[in-house]
Amino acid sequence: MSFELVLIGISIHILVWEKLPEWGTWFNTLLGKLPQPLQTLYAQWRCAYCAGFWIALALHAATGLWTIPALASLPGYWGPLSPFVGWFLDALASAALIVAGVITLRAIGLPAMKSYLMKDDFMKTVGAAARGEPQVQKTQPAEISGR
């Protein structure tokens, strides 16, 4: 099993659906100028599995990489459909790994961000104490009642 195609697929998914929309207004403006069917397609492909399948097919066509190299040579009874079936099955397997990778990165992202922010707050407090500045007590936001 090879993970190059999956790693590139995860990177493309994160770039196109999570990062580019946050990097200024140019990407969202570009999306707004696309024909409505393409805008709808972009909105529907937020699913990492769906997008991962098409990303894997495109990457396979562009690079020749296989996630499961054994699918490159299917049994002879597939006849002329053999390459298409192999590509399809490889894209399905790649999509499953892409969605697993995206979910894993999201799962570790929140604790990592919380840890970073806690360390940043701690370092600011230590720096202020070292300079003899008064300590500011942080207050927690009030809980919102379920009324």
Q: Is the pLDDT of residue 19 over 70?
A: yes
- What pLDDT was estimated at residue 143? 54
Residue 53 in 3-state DSSP? helix
Helix/strand/coil for 81: helix
Distance CA 2, CA 16 (A): 23
Write down the pLDDT at residue 147.
Answer: 46
Give the whole-angstrom CA distance, residue 40 versus residue 68: 31
Backbone angles phi, psi at 106, to 5 degrees: -65, -40
pLDDT of 54 above 60: yes
- Judged by phi (left if over 0) then psi (alpha if -120 to 50, else beta), residue 132 lies in left
Outline where DSSP puts E strands in the chain: none
Q: What is the largest CA-CA distance in the chain?
A: 80
Q: How confident is the model at residue 2 (pLDDT cuts 50, 70, 90)?
A: confident
Pick from 16-20, 81-85, 143-147: least confident: 143-147
Kindly report, residue by residue over 96-145, the tens digit of the pLDDT: 999 999 999 888 888 888 888 888 888 888 777 777 766 655 555 555 54
Going from the C-alpha of 6 to that of each of 31, 89, 95, 99, 101, the distances in angstroms are 25, 14, 8, 9, 8
Q: Six-digit token pair at 110?
A: 């929140």
Percentage of the chain with pLDDT > 90? 46
